Structure 1
Amino acid sequence: MPPPATANLGYTPPDGGWGWVVVFASFISIGFSYAFPKSLTVYFKEIQEYFGASYSEIAWVSSVMLASMYAAGPISSVLVNRYGSRPVVMVGGMMVSAGMILASFGTSIIHLYLCVGVIGGFGLAFNLQPALTIIGTYFQAKRPLANGLAMTGSPVVLFTLAPLNQLLFDSFGWRGSFLILGGIVLNCCVAGSLMRPVRKMIVSKPKAESSDCNGADETAAAEAVRTEDNSDKLSCVQRFIDISLFKHRGFLIYLVGNVVMFFGFFAPIVFLAPYAKHQGIDEYSAAFLLSILALVDMFIRPLTGFVGNTRWIRPKIQYFFAFAVSYNGVCHLLCPLFSGYAGLVAYAIIFGAAFGMVCALLFETLMDLVGAKRFSSAVGLVTIIECAPVLLGPPISGAMVDTFGDYKYMYYTCGVLMLLPAIFFFVMHYYNYKKLDEEQKQSKSVEMSRAEDTTQQSYLSTRHGIKDLPTVTLSPKVTDY
């Protein structure tokens, strides 16, 4: 789920109208951002043979692209605050297009790292972050529905691109395919042009209220005008350098578990089509496995969001996330046991469900831990730190394939790398929930003591005629959760 916007926007969102056009534009932008690196894996085996590269070397292409997309996330957010979503998305579409066109003339694997990985990855970041942000400016009451529809773009685009890429390769080769993809991805520029800012819906506030930078509504006001008002640069920077989050118990649990998890999160998708071809399966059938995975993912994401919002799951949603991570680990451990194409289809189905569950809960669990006000800062820190496992995970997995000459050890390793953080999440969130209950009870006890002291002071003042008796108040201990 994308990061939700602050509820108190300072204006009345239209909750419809042109907002649905913006949802469609975000659908396209988010779809290309998440699906493009995965769909390119269809070309990996042929590019590997063309350049004489190893599995590890070819895996760096998607790895660098994903890592660049994560690393450029905070930069993209700053640009959105400065210029708005529309120009940032349009520039991002042109960057991805330029990267793919330049890559079509590549003469070495390093050339692909720079063009597809770095240039394309930064362009995808400029597509993703603005699309996640602008929906919150158009929707409030219907925001969950709008976000759910926009996030469905990822599996839909992957479902379409996977077989299309195989068709393009058979007709034009990988160089011609990259050139055509460079034109196709320019649709992101069209999507960006539809992201019109909500300028006319802003409600003017009294001067005293709007100029109060130290009041309780500072965060809400900054969020309300962040795409239109460029004067709040300090607040923008503070959202990404909130170092105090490293003292936050819940944030640290989330961060440590996710860093380990991301080492084994993307590699199974990156190597799914090459793994099928390694077993002698034809190119179209191998590419269709990604479409099957995307089709299941398409339905699982909104279903997971619906289940996560029920009154049975919502209060302990961290356990639901831990279950989703463990489900992924079990899928990868069982993958080598599935034989033949029918077995890989079954794996693609259960893996699509597992992958969709984790993606649907990834941002929601972080917000549940740190709260809405600190969510932007938390996302900025998490994406920067997660660059390392996103970058290194697939190449390390590729090196294992090179070493053992078999994919099963890679899938076993990815399964373990998902199960370990899942166990960590179960244990640490049990501890965290227990501590939260204790701190809540302690806070209530202090509040009751303070109320009793106030009542006693009032009684003594009334009985003895003392008007200015000093009042002793006890402040509850403020603890980061």
Structure 2
Amino acid sequence: MEHTKRDHDRYWKTVAFISCFMSIMIFNSFTETYGVLYIYMREPLQTTEYKLSWIGSLMSGFFGITSLLTSVLVERVGSRYTHLLGGLVLASSVMVSSLTSSIYVLYLTLGVLPGVGSSLVFISSTVHLNRLFSRWRPLAAGGATIGGAVAGLVWPQLISSLADAFHWWGALLIHGALVLHMLPCALNIKHKRNMTTIQYHIAVPVTWDSKVQKEALWKRFRGQVTTKAPGYNSFCLSYFFLGLGIMSFPTFIPDYVMTSLPGHTSSEVALIVSISGAGNILGRCLFSVVAMLHPNFPLHISITATIACGLINVIVVLCQNMNDFYITGGFYGLAFGGFSVAWCPMLVRLFGLENLPKFLGGQLLMQGIGSLCGPPLLSYLADVSGQNEIIFYTTGASFISSFLVVLPFLLGRQCGPGHRDDCPVAGVTNQAVELESIDSPV
């Protein structure tokens, strides 16, 4: 009986891992391709690069701004239904975008709504995997995020080919159809109440008083926004600086290369983003394994990769030919993959597993605000100065600043000999409405 239950649990963990991998790949395809789409959209829409940059900015901004609400939603209804709602929002918004040629409608359908849908999918997938695995958490979380790197490898070339054959609106329509595959992935996320939650609901009478329900919801949301946990504010400010430049490379590198090296085709330029995606895959595979070697390695990887991303953005302006850009793109993908794969294990190590939804929400909120301001600000600075290089100088500075902000907290942090990977932090606790015990050996 025990053997059968163990096999059953492993089956659902494997299915959940594959589903989260596919969903992360699909929603990351948006951020990896809208820089390529700019090339095809600018002339038909008769608009400027500054106005187009607001699409990606709104997408990244609302990804973070809605993260607090998403983390509350995950706590209340579970990862499966949050994930399912995100897939529906993403698919419908992209297909509607193919039916309009108004830049202002695209701000909503290709900017705001995909940002909201991506937030729903990402946080629900991340929280689900980190609760589901304990011993193999870094490898599971890192392996699932490889889906985002696969999107960076495949989707730029795919969207470029589709746009050449069917124009940009046809490419969006097909893209929306592919996003629909996220829905069966959401249904494969197991929804199971654990004994703690069941006893809690039996012991406390259920009330349907709307005023009480609203007050409880507001109390939980307020708890997501405020916390006394040491380092929380420093990391939130750090992710604001990170948000200012996190989308600059895939957004601006295609246009920068077309301007710096005229005569190259859109497919050749899109290959830079694809090579960055290949480096991203390698980085996530490599560093997800390295992160398991020691509990503190995720923190070290995150710091090193953040600094490397900043330096590589500065090196972009030194590239003289396509081979230089290809190599730089590969190294940027490698560093960004290391940062991405170490992020959640680092938060679990520093702040505890039970507070992961809360810290994800707060940091993604600040990253979203930074992402909302970043691309338009960088485009404006480039237009005013007449030098596109300032985009990558500013991006490099934002990555370095994000590390310097948390440096005092990291230097002052002392881990006692009894520090555990899953030790709780004072603040909101998590009433998990799903999944098996996190002490599972898998």
Residue 72 of structure 1: CA displacement?
2.3
Aligned mate of 1:297, from 275, 280, 290: 280
Aligned mate of 1:386, from 354, 362, 367: 367
Residue 153 of structure 1: CA displacement?
0.8
1:109 has 2:103 as partner: yes
Give the letter aligned to residue 59 of structure 2: M
Match of 1:288 in 2: 271
1:173 has 2:167 as partner: yes
Match of 2:422 in 1: none
1:182 has 2:182 as partner: no
| 3-state secondary structure, aligned to 1:50 | helix
Return closer, same or farther for 1:195/1:402 CA change in 2, 3 Å cut-off: same
Match of 1:308 in 2: 291
- Matches of 1:274 and 1:309, distance apart in 2: 39
Contact 1:93 1:185 survives alignment (8 Å) = yes
Match of 1:410 in 2: 391
Alignment of 1:227-246 (within 5 A): 234=216, 238=220, 241-242=223-224, 245=227
Residue 80 of structure 1: CA displacement?
3.5
Match of 1:158 in 2: 152
Give the letter aligned to residue 65 of structure 1: M
1:31 has 2:25 as partner: yes
**RMSD over aligned Cα, in angstroms?**
3.3
Return closer, same or farther for 1:139/1:14 CA change in 2, 3 Å cut-off: farther
- Alignment deviations for residues 415-457 of structure 1 (CA, whole Å, 9 cap, x no partner): 1222233344445422x23xx37xx69x9xxxxxxxxxxxxxx
Residue 139 of structure 1: CA displacement?
3.9
Match of 2:333 in 1: 352
- Alignment deviations for residues 378-406 of structure 1 (CA, whole Å, 9 cap, x no partner): 22222223221011111111222323343
1:73 has 2:67 as partner: yes
Match of 1:120 in 2: 114
- Matches of 1:373 and 1:41, distance apart in 2: 37
- Matches of 2:152 and 2:326, distance apart in 1: 16
Return closer, same or farther for 1:195/1:422 CA change in 2, 3 Å cut-off: closer
- Alignment deviations for residues 443-473 of structure 1 (CA, whole Å, 9 cap, x no partner): 9xxxxxxxxxxxxxxxxxxxxxxxxxxxxxx
Contact 1:15 1:139 survives alignment (8 Å) = no
Match of 1:47 in 2: 41
**Aligned sequence identity (%):** 21
Q: Which moved more, 1:371-380 or 1:133-142?
A: 133-142
- Matches of 1:17 and 1:317, distance apart in 2: 27
Residue 240 of structure 1: CA displacement?
5.9
- Matches of 1:98 and 1:206, distance apart in 2: 36
- Matches of 2:222 and 2:142, distance apart in 1: 26
Give the letter aligned to residue 99 of structure 1: S
Return closer, same or farther for 1:208/1:367 CA change in 2, 3 Å cut-off: closer
Return closer, same or farther for 1:384/1:207 CA change in 2, 3 Å cut-off: closer
- Matches of 2:384 and 2:86, distance apart in 1: 37
Residue 179 of structure 1: CA displacement?
1.4
Name the TM-score, length of structure 2 as normaliser. 0.82
Residue 207 of structure 1: CA displacement?
5.8
- Alignment deviations for residues 261-284 of structure 1 (CA, whole Å, 9 cap, x no partner): 221221122112222222222111
Contact 2:25 2:149 survives alignment (8 Å) = yes
Match of 1:6 in 2: none
Alignment of 1:61-460 (within 5 A): 61-136=55-130, 138-198=132-192, 202=194, 211=203, 234=216, 238=220, 241-242=223-224, 245=227, 247-278=228-259, 279-280=261-262, 281-311=264-294, 314-315=295-296, 318-430=299-411, 432-433=412-413, 436=414
Match of 1:21 in 2: 15
- Matches of 1:295 and 1:304, distance apart in 2: 14
- Matches of 2:135 and 2:299, distance apart in 1: 25
Residue 71 of structure 1: CA displacement?
2.1
- Matches of 2:222 and 2:278, distance apart in 1: 35
Contact 1:238 1:377 survives alignment (8 Å) = no
Return closer, same or farther for 1:91/1:248 CA change in 2, 3 Å cut-off: closer
Q: Unmatched 5+ residue regions in structure 1?
A: 1-10, 214-230, 444-477
Give the letter aligned to residue 345 of structure 1: Y
- Matches of 1:12 and 1:238, distance apart in 2: 34
- Alignment deviations for residues 30-80 of structure 1 (CA, whole Å, 9 cap, x no partner): 112223222122110221222232222111111111112222223333333
Q: Which moved more, 1:86-95 or 1:101-110?
A: 86-95
Contact 1:155 1:297 survives alignment (8 Å) = yes
- Matches of 1:207 and 1:176, distance apart in 2: 52
| 3-state secondary structure, aligned to 1:294 | helix
Task: Find the structure with the greater CA-based Rg.
Answer: 1
Return closer, same or farther for 1:13/1:422 CA change in 2, 3 Å cut-off: farther
Q: Unmatched 5+ residue regions in structure 2?
A: 206-212, 419-424, 428-442
